[in-house]
Structure 1
Amino acid sequence: MSNGSSDGSDSRRRPAYGEYATAEEQRARIQQPAITEALDHGLPPGAAVAPSEQPVAAASVRETPARTVDRLITAVLLGIGFVNVVVSVQSFFDVTSTFTRAMETMGIPGEFTNVSGPTGAAVWGAVAGISMVIGYVLTALVSWRRVRGGRRAWWIPLVGAVITYVVVTACLTVPVMADPAFQEYVRTMAS
């Protein structure tokens, strides 16, 4: 009586993960990596594996289409972020005109006058600009390290942008909230 079909092939399913290995074979594989390599290549436990038969290095196996797409998306997001930083940073050093236009657009009477002092637009605009540059540099470094380590990095530029914009918005809120015209507008709206 044969376990195979009439054409001589074996109809049993292939063993997976050593399920048909004897206890001795399992112990030998766990304790001696050389035996594991030999058995992986279908050789008897004492045989040496030729260098040409050794497994492919893990670094070359990891290069998959998904990893390439991740790298591409990460690079595109960092590129967009770089352009945004270059365009935005210079405007943070002259936010007084931006705040004046914003107040006119919102219908707030008066002119933005909180330019100097510890809560002034000159100080906090510069802090916002520097924060944006530092946020971008940190985001790019973390992204680069993750890509270099073979881990997914596409989400790092997105999280970095959100965190950076929260900090920048907080910096730009300080001079607006301390402006006398804006404070008067808030008081009249509250009453």
Structure 2
Amino acid sequence: MSDDSRSSDEGGGVERPRPQYGEYATAEEQRARIQRPEVTEALDAGVAPQPQPQPQAAPVADAPAGFVAPATRGARVDRIVTFGLLFYGLFSVVTTIVQLLNFPEYAERGAQMLGVTATFTNLSAGYVWGAAAALVYGVGWLLTAVFTWRRLRRGRVAFWIPLVGFVATALIAGICVTMALVGDATFMSAILDSVPN
């Protein structure tokens, strides 16, 4: 039998010419030829068409622990801003901790910025509350870094976490500093007397 002919009809033994217009094509083959012209060329050349790539699904909230979302332009910008804020926060926290551990000098320098010359005398309370504020800053930065890293690994926007972490940490540390300052009545009266009425 030649390539130009097919098997005979079941009934009569008459040979039919090979189909040229897709009479025997399945519905999927017909759809593929209509939607993708390169499939037509592949089928005409006797090559199986390659499957069409499927679009990537967006990452889901409960992605596995090691899942890293594909980096888009927005994700890259978010990562750069987030890491910039974390590194700036780390530098700020380290310098603040060093100052808080010598609380009397820290308090007197703050008074000088207000234009007041005063000596901090409640040393024991100053060192205790200064160390507490330093601890708050250190733990606050570590927790902020952990939450930020976890959110980045899930492929979510994370730049706001260092900002919220800074505000929350500064508020709690500020309470510790205030407790130390209020414990020195002489120092506080010198500062309050300098405030214009």
Give % identity. Answer: 32
Indicate yes or no: 2:157 matched with 1:180: no
1:151 to partner: Cα distance: 0.7
Aligned residues of 2:103 and 2:126 also touching (Cα < 8 A): yes
Deviations 1:116-150 (A, max 9, x none): 1xxx1100100001100100001111111111101
- Counterpart CA distance in 2 for 1:77 and 1:152 is 14
1:152 to partner: Cα distance: 0.4
Aligned to 1:115: 123
Match of 2:110 among 97, 102, 114: 102
Aligned to 2:99: 91
What's the RMSD between the two structures over aligned residues? 3.0
- Counterpart CA distance in 2 for 1:87 and 1:188 is 28
Aligned residues of 1:112 and 1:179 also touching (Cα < 8 A): yes
Match of 1:137 among 137, 142, 147: 142
- Counterpart CA distance in 1 for 2:134 and 2:50 is 56
Q: 1:139 to 1:108 in 2, by over 3 A?
A: same
Letter in 1 for 2:81: I
TM-score by length of 1: 0.63
Give the total of aligned pairs: 142
Match of 2:167 among 162, 168, 180: 162
Aligned to 2:131: 126
Q: 1:68 to 1:52 in 2, by over 3 A?
A: farther
Aligned residues of 2:116 and 2:194 also touching (Cα < 8 A): no
Aligned to 1:12: none
Report the structure, 1 or 2, having the larger helix content.
1
Give ranges in structure 1 of 5+ residues lacking alignment: 1-38, 44-49
Match of 1:63 among 60, 71, 90: 71
Which of the two has higher C-alpha Rg?
2
Indicate yes or no: 2:87 matched with 1:79: yes
Aligned to 1:150: 155
Q: 1:180 to 1:68 in 2, by over 3 A?
A: same
Letter in 2 for 1:76: G
Deviations 1:12-37 (A, max 9, x none): xxxxxxxxxxxxxxxxxxxxxxxxxx
Aligned residues of 2:141 and 2:165 also touching (Cα < 8 A): yes
- Counterpart CA distance in 1 for 2:149 and 2:56 is 22
Q: Aligned with 2:123: secondary structure?
A: coil
- Counterpart CA distance in 2 for 1:61 and 1:92 is 40
Moved more, 150-159 or 81-90: 81-90
- Counterpart CA distance in 2 for 1:137 and 1:187 is 39
Aligned residues of 2:78 and 2:159 also touching (Cα < 8 A): yes
